Chain A
Amino acid sequence: MMRTLLVILMFLSPLTATAECLTRGTGDLGIVIERASGSIKVLDTSRHEVLFRVEGLGDLSHASAVYSRDGRYAFLFGRDGGLSKVDILCGTIVKRLVQGGNSIGGAISQDGSLVAVSNYEPGGVKIFSAEDLSPVADIPATPLETGEKLSKTVGLVDAPGQRFAVSLYDTGESWIIDMQDPKAPVIRRFTDIGRLPYDALITPDGRYYITGLFGQDGLSLLDLWYPEKGPRLILENYGKGEEKLPVYKMPHLEGWAIAGHRAFLPAVGRHEVLVVDMSNWSQVARIPVHGQPVFVMARPDGRQIWINYAFPDNDTIQVIDTESLQIVKTFKPGKGALHMEFTPRGEEVWISIRDKDEIQVYDTQTLEQTHSLPAEKPSGIFFTSRAHRTGL
């Protein structure tokens, strides 16, 4: 009986599971968002090839992705509130649902079992099972004084201890959501962290949650080892009294770059990259750059910082040497250089160039372009190496 069952299974499984799926590891794979067409492409970073195109993913403007810890599934957060689980070995959508009206990114829990989504509309965080996207928790944000709406939530990240951290744009708060018991989330709220938090990040070691503020100078810092101490303002005197420049695209803090004991981050309303000493959170330098930085990303070995810019300077990329703090290269790969992603050990960086409908690959040693791959209005690029990094 058992044997016949096994034989039947042996015949069945190749048909069901591997119809057109690949049998290989995923450590050198990734995806690129094709934001205008609601599709993604699955990329092979070793062969510089496109493996699959997956369509039908909704409005992917400002979409982002996280990975299951086995590196096989990408969870995509679309602007239209869509949450999709994509099997990158098969190029298929495993499950897709529209969980909210308008979302802005998500995170996967430390143990990989929960996927959290941050929503603008209605503001709050929703948490789902990573397995089948069934709902686990719904955590509405603080209502606005005007009544009908809830604050927008921004800067959602995962944190050690099966926690998530998130900030509230309209009401100026940071929350820690403890999901140790998924049925009973424990929320710790910190109010008055500063005006108009617009994005946040967690340091790669998972200790500090740092929120960028649009409505005032400085950033809010929360030490997750000692949350009871509450958040404090850092760099509050940075640029004091200087007129701010208009910002045509909000900087992203997710790519906050850390090299040795120094962190590099985009200034807001100033065409500068800030260099911060992480031992005491003081500013050690400001590097004048080409425009309003959007992503400031460190090559994984920390030797270089790559920067892209907001409109109208989004045709330019600059590279800073972290030792001399000098700009070592400025180049114009094309209009709409929207996102950069390093291969896991940093020998290459992949850059999406929206208006050329291509991804350009650069050798980070020679700083020369080596490959080009077609992609329709590409934006975010996400490699599977993120699966094993806190906050990504």
Chain B
Amino acid sequence: MRLKRSLPNLLLIAFTIIVSGLAIADITPERQAELIYLLRHDCGSCHGMRLEGGLGPALKPERFRHWSTETLAMTILYGRSGTPMPPWGPFITEPEALWLAGQLKKGIQP
């Protein structure tokens, strides 16, 4: 179900993400702090405040080792239909999602 939905869009999305990825450097420290707060409290309501898992799985670097930053950012932006994982696109820009994905891959303790 998930693949069916995302495959047709994959290339397009990946492309826009890579292009907009150039803008990552533009995320201000204030906005970074807001994103971390969001991660802790709002992602945290399903993934645990320490990202160790809840209704949604743990968001730990071991899990994402083989994920590209782009795939991770796409999951955040578009969610996963048919599951409770909602799309965050309305609240997070693509560069912000890439930045968050990078933090998750590095392993972050929000």
Whether A198 touches B55, Cβ cut-off 8 Å, given contacts A59-B48, A59-B49, A248-B42, is yes
Interface residue B60 (Cβ < 8 Å from any Cβ of A):
no
* Contact among B40, B45, B53, B82 for A102, CB-based, below 8 A: B53
A102 touches B84 (CB 8 A): no
CB <8 Å contact, B84 and A59: no
CB-defined contacts of B108 to chain A, threshold 8 Å: none
Residues from 29 to 54 in B contacting A, C-beta threshold 8 Å: 40-42, 44-46, 48-50, 52-54
User: Are B84 and A61 in contact (CB-based, < 8 A)?
Assistant: no
A25-47 CB contacts (< 8 Å) to partner B:
35-36
Asked if residues B84 and A104 are in contact (CB atoms below 8 Å), the reply is: no
CA distance A61 to B84 in the complex (A): 18
Q: Chain B CB within 10 Å — which of A59, A61, A169 has the most? A: A61
A250 touches B53 (CB 8 A): no
Instruction: Report if B79 contacts A (CB, 8 A).
Output: yes
A152–B55 alpha-carbon span in the complex (Å): 8
Which residues of chain B are near A121, meaning CB under 8 Å?
53
Q: Are B49 and A246 in contact (CB under 8 A)?
A: no
Chain B residues with CB below 8 A from A173, complex form? none
The answer to the question of A214 belonging to the interface, with a C-beta cut-off of 8 Å to chain B, is yes
Residues of A within 8 A of B46 (CB): 249-250
Output the least CB separation between A4 and chain B (Å).
54
Nearest Cβ in chain B — how far from A204, in angstroms? 26
Chain B residues with CB under 8 Å of A254's CB are none
A215 at the interface (CB under 8 A from B): yes
Q: How far is the CA of A152 from the CA of B84 in the complex (A)?
A: 14
- Return B85 CB to nearest CB of chain A, in Å: 9
Given contacts A247-B84, A248-B86, A311-B42, contact A59 B55 (CB under 8 A): no
The distance from the CB of A354 to the nearest CB of chain B, in whole angstroms, is 7
Interface centre among B41, B48, B86, B87 (most CB of A within 10 A): B41
Taking the closest CB of chain A, its distance from the CB of B109, in whole angstroms, is 12
Residues of B within 8 Å of A72, CB to CB, are none
**Of B49, B82, B86, which contacts A247 at CB under 8 A?**
B86
Q: Check if B86 sits within 8 Å of A246, measured CB to CB.
A: yes
User: Which size bracket describes the interface of B in this complex?
Assistant: 20 to 34
Q: Please, how many residues of chain A have a CB less than 8 angstroms from a CB on the other chain? A: 27
Q: Is the CB of B82 within 8 A of A250?
A: no
> Measured between alpha carbons, how far is A214 from B85 in the docked complex, in Å?
11
Assuming the contacts A215-B82, A336-B41, A354-B41, asked whether A102 and B55 have C-beta atoms less than 8 A apart, the reply is: no
In the complex, which of the residues A61, A215, A311 contacts B50, with contact meaning CB atoms closer than 8 Å?
A: A61
B42 near A61 with CB under 8 A, answer: no
Cβ–Cβ < 8 Å partners of A154 in chain B: 55
Cα distance A249–B50 when bound, in Å? 16
Within the complex, what minimum Cβ distance (angstroms) separates A123 from chain B? 11
Give CA–CA (A121, B57) in the complex, Å: 10
Residues of A within 8 A of B79 (CB): 246
Is A59 in contact with B52, judged by CB distance below 8 angstroms? yes
A250-B49 in contact (CB<8A): no
With a cutoff of 8 Å between Cβ atoms, the chain B residues found around residue A250 in the complex are: 45-46, 55, 84
Determine the distance from Cα of A139 to Cα of B44 in the docked complex, in whole angstroms. 27
Determine whether A163 belongs to the interface, using a CB cutoff of 8 Å to chain B: no
Chain B's nearest CB lies how many Å from the CB of A362? 23
Are B49 and A35 interface neighbours, CB within 8 A? yes
A241 → chain B closest CB, angstroms: 17
A356 at the interface (CB under 8 A from B): no
Other than A246-B86, A247-B86, give 20 A-B pairs with Cβ distance below 8 A.
Answer: A35-B49, A36-B49, A61-B48, A61-B50, A61-B54, A62-B49, A62-B54, A80-B52, A102-B48, A104-B55, A121-B53, A152-B55, A154-B55, A196-B83, A214-B83, A249-B45, A249-B46, A250-B46, A312-B91, A336-B41
List 19 interface pairs A-B (beta carbons < 8 Å), by A numbering.
Answer: A59-B49, A59-B52, A61-B48, A61-B49, A62-B49, A62-B54, A79-B48, A79-B54, A120-B53, A120-B54, A169-B55, A198-B84, A214-B83, A246-B79, A247-B84, A248-B86, A250-B45, A311-B42, A312-B91
Give me the 4 closest cross-chain CB pairs, A-B, nearest first. A61-B49, A246-B86, A249-B45, A311-B42
State the B residues within 8 Å of A (CB). Answer: 40-42, 44-46, 48-50, 52-55, 79, 82-84, 86-87, 91
Query: Which A positions have Cβ atoms within 8 angstroms of B?
Result: 35-36, 59, 61-62, 79-80, 102, 104, 120-121, 152, 154, 169, 196, 198, 214-215, 246-250, 311-312, 336, 354
